[in-house]
Amino acid sequence: MALLVNSFAADLNPVRPVLPFLDYPSWDASTEAKEGEFAECSTWRYEMREHEEKDHPDRFRMVFLSGKQMPPGAATMEFDVGRFWRVGTLLIEEAISAHFRQRHFVIEETRFEKLALRPVSNSPDEAIELATGVSYSARRPFREDRYRFALSLNWEVRALFRETLANADIARIALGMPVLYSPTKAVPPELVHFRNRYLGRVRSIEKDGTAIVISRDDGQAHRVPLSDIKLEASPAVIKIYEQRVRSRSGPSPIIRRIQQLKRTFTRDNRRNITAAQDRLEEIRVLLNRAGASLDQLILPLSSFQTGSVAISLLPMEASLGDNW
């Protein structure tokens, strides 16, 4: 028995990309350079093996995948993705990210994956923006197959409040609510980690146009401008917003629309028994529209190394043994 999974075969060319690199005496020194001088570059770092250190006393290497220009003073070498498989996965992700940007998707990045989203035009409430798209990450599934990669994609639906807590109607329901940090100006060092992410819960709204937010990560209190935080548009928060701001009771048209976009419910509000297959088809349709072929999408690398990545538009299959 074979099951379709939300992964697609991806072939990288070349498999030994020539990329610039710089070496550093410590991980901290490379971090300072990565977050400072090379903040606009896409990089990957690793610690060299003992036999490599004989020729390179600075044992922490930063590989530059892409950027506006070659880093000054950098040397170049081949990075075989059979060994440096993470270089391969990052090159694939950079290529598809560049592709989605050209098609007006907004790209977001978390520690584990990237997302490509674009707004949906028919939100039931003008205060809530809805967006659909995909989350994606490249992997090398099997160590034995050193040059075979897979791109995993998931269908995503995102709800986001358009207004910040600077809106009085939003602010008056915000106490105790979860908020996202969406700064419009310079970010304090202690909040850089939270940019465009969940920050915590609102403890108080201050008269000076700020809020005291208790961080989820460390339990610390942060004073943040109301114009830099938005309510997290979870189903519970959306329901409270509808009841207390819109004076709306009964089933939520916003939540129902989200369920339809997720393919959990059909257009006639029946539970969708083929939700998983429909989401997979949404992913294939999105990729099909982007490429010239019905069974393969070929993208140029967005890198210092010229090349391409070929992504199959046929989902991979997982086979079950005879005991199932």
Q: Is pLDDT above 50 for 324?
A: no
The per-residue pLDDT for 192 is 83
pLDDT value of position 1: 45
pLDDT in tens, 148-183: 999 999 999 999 999 999 999 999 999 999 999 999
Is the pLDDT at 4 greater than 80? The verdict is no
Phi first, then psi, for residue 160 (nearest 5°) are -145, 130
Distance CA 129, CA 114 (A): 20
Statement: residue 320 has pLDDT above 70: no
44-57 mean pLDDT: 76
Summarize pLDDT for 239-275 with one digit per residue, the tens: 999 999 999 888 899 999 999 999 998 888 889 888 8
Mean pLDDT in residue range 185-210: 89
Four-point Cα dihedral 184, 186, 189, 191, nearest 10: -10
Strand partners, 215: 200
Q: What angle do the packed helices 235-244 and 253-261 form, to 10 degrees?
A: 150
Q: What is the pLDDT of residue 114?
A: 93
Closest CA to 42 of 66, 15, 68: 66
Cβ atoms of 215 and 199 closer than 8 Å: yes
Top-confidence residue, 141 or 19: 19
Half-sphere exposure of 143 (CA within 13 A, CB side): 1
Q: Is the pLDDT of residue 104 over 50?
A: yes
Tokens of 109: 């990045």
Q: 209-228, pLDDT tens digit by residue? A: 999 999 887 788 999 999 99
